[in-house]
């Protein structure tokens, strides 16, 4: 433990990735960009030899295998597909389970499921979203039974290199999955509807897309950076009998709120179903 803490204080945290697809690769790139780990201290293990070589060449990380990664790293991200997680965990040498902090980003795999297959391991479960690829991700995480306060602090620090992170009870992970994990698709669906509406009013699709994207980006920035409440913001941009008020009147009469609640409920329900699969 002392050796691990010493490496962290020197900025030479050894970080491993078992699975380096879109999400794992994005987290890896964010940690390197934030200088939380140096390329020579990042170990990547992926079923695809081509992918290992690609990352070793582009990011200068070390192509590795499961045994070496779990033996040499302080933190290991478990980033394989959920259906491949069981077989992968069986390939970790038992002697290496006590060493690193394991951070699982596998959707639907609960802490109990992970810990049954990783006795003695310190585990943190995470639900990130695709925006980690541009440093604007939102991750919810919860700690396993053996994870210590220092492990939680380290996990949060690593995840915040990819955007924001919040610790929640595991009972809320299905809701996290629905709201922020699947949320980018739902927000994009609403954006597409706005673009289509702009096109119907005579705008070129390219122009409507640029207008919609920038409006969404600017709105998110104001709400996030100024700490303005959503309801307060809506009120601030709405003039009596103005254009915004006319549009909001239509929205208020629609089933949008109910539909969004049903959308999130369906996603959360499916998340729960996936967690019960073997």
- pLDDT (tens digit, 9 = 90+) per residue, 34-90? 999 999 999 999 999 999 999 999 999 999 999 999 999 999 999 999 989 999 999
220, 110: one domain: no
Query: At how many degrees (to 10) do helices 205-225 and 183-200 cross?
Result: 130
Residues 162 and 218 in one domain: no
> Considering just the CA atoms, what is the radius of gyration of the chain in Å?
21
- Neighbouring C-beta atoms of residue 54, cutoff 10 Å: 16
* Residues 116 and 215 placed together within one structural domain of the fold: no
Q: Which structural domain range is residue 106 located in?
A: 2-169
What dihedral angle (degrees, nearest 10) is formed by the CA atoms of 178, 111, 277, 139? 20
Query: Does 156 share its domain with 220?
Result: no
230: CATH: 1.10.3730.10
What distance in Å separates the CA atoms of residue 160 and residue 165, rounded to the nearest whole number? 6
- CA torsion sign, 94 to 99 to 104 to 108? positive
SS3 of the chain: helix, strand, coil, percent, to 5: 60, 15, 30
Q: Which two tokens stand for residue 44?
A: 């990547």
**Residue 152: which pLDDT band, with cuts at 50, 70 and 90?**
very high
Using the 3D structure, point to which of 118, 141, 169 is the last residue of a domain.
169
**Model pLDDT, residue 136:** 95
Are 233 and 162 within one domain? no
Residue with tokens 């690193």: 100
Quote the number of domains for the chain. Answer: 2
Average pLDDT over residues 145-170: 96
Q: Same domain, yes or no, for 15 and 110? A: yes
Same-domain status, 163 and 49: yes
Structure letter (DSSP) for residue 61: P
Give a yes or no: residue 174 inside a domain: no
Q: Is the same domain home to 149 and 259?
A: no
Q: Looking up tokens 């103005």, which residue turns up?
A: 242
The pTM of this model reads 0.88
> How far, CA to CA in Å, does 129 sit from each of 2, 240, 265?
33, 38, 18
- Shared domain for 16 and 48, answered yes or no, is yes
Q: Tens digits of per-residue pLDDT, 177-220?
A: 999 999 999 999 999 999 999 999 999 999 999 999 999 999 99
**pLDDT on residue 239:** 95
């Amino acid at each position: 433990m002392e050796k691990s803490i010493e490496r962290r204080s020197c900025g030479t945290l050894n970080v491993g990735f078992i699975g380096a697809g879109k999400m794992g690769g994005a987290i890896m790139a964010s940690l390197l960009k934030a200088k939380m780990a140096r390329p020579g201290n990042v170990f990547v293990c992926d079923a695809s030899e081509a992918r290992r070589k690609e990352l070793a060449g582009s990011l200068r990380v070390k192509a590795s295998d499961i045994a070496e990664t779990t033996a040499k790293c302080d933190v290991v991200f478990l980033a394989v597909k959920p259906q491949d997680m069981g077989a992968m965990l069986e390939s970790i040498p038992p002697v290496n389970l006590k060493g690193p902090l394991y951070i699982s980003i596998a959707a639907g795999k609960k802490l109990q499921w992970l810990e049954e297959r990783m006795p003695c391991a310190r585990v943190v479960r995470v639900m990130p979203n695709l925006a980690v690829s541009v440093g604007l991700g939102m991750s919810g995480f919860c700690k396993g039974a053996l994870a210590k306060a220092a492990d939680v602090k380290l996990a949060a620090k690593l995840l915040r290199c990819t955007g924001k992170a919040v610790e929640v009870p595991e009972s809320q992970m299905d809701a996290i999955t629905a709201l922020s994990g699947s949320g980018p698709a739902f927000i994009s669906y609403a954006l597409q509807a706005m673009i289509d509406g702009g096109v119907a009013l005579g705008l070129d699709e390219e122009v409507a897309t640029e207008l919609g994207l920038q409006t969404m980006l600017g709105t998110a920035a104001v709400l996030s950076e100024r700490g303005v409440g959503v309801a307060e913001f809506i009120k601030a941009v709405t003039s009596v009998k103005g254009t915004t008020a006319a549009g909001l009147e239509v929205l208020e009469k629609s089933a949008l709120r109910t539909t969004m609640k049903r959308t999130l409920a369906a996603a959360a329900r499916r998340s729960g179903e996936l967690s019960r699969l073997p």
